[in-house]
Amino acid sequence: MKKNKSKVNSAAEKEFVFEFRAGKHNCVLKVPLQFPAQDNICDLHGRLMLLHKIPCYIENELKTSLSNFVESEAILDYDREAELALQRLALGDVDMNQLTNAWTRSYVEVIPHFSMLLCLRTKIH
């Protein structure tokens, strides 16, 4: 039986915390987010502004904070996945020949595509 190559669903919930001042009040917005993030940051930002009645002068700060949070959590997830992949290689759980053949096929398929795009872009400019 072949091993399933599909990725294990590793969705995790992480809490986004945003502190801001509205008039005399110090406010804290705590929102649970699913990772890996499936939503567009701009859409999510807009929904948070509307649902939580956040003042418009906080808009840019919220968007920046949310973007930074999602980006840093994504990087942490990629790092964890990479570390697990390296551990599987070190333990011999992955066939090195099979892995190099898969990478070779990927490069053979992708490189001509990007070369063609580069040529087209050069001709246009």
Mean pLDDT score of the chain:
83
- 3-state SS, one letter per residue, for 49-97: HHHCCCCHHHHHHHHHHHHHHHHHHHHHHHHHHHHHHHHHHHHCCCCHH
Categorize the per-residue pLDDT at 100 as very low, low, confident or very high, splitting at 50, 70 and 90.
confident
* Placement of tokens 């929904």 in the chain: 47
User: What number of other Cβ atoms are within 10 A of residue 121's Cβ?
Assistant: 9
Higher per-residue confidence, 6 vs 123:
123
Whole-model pTM: value is 0.64
Is residue 71 predicted with pLDDT exceeding 60? Answer: yes
Report the distance separating Cα 63 and Cα 100, nearest Å. 41
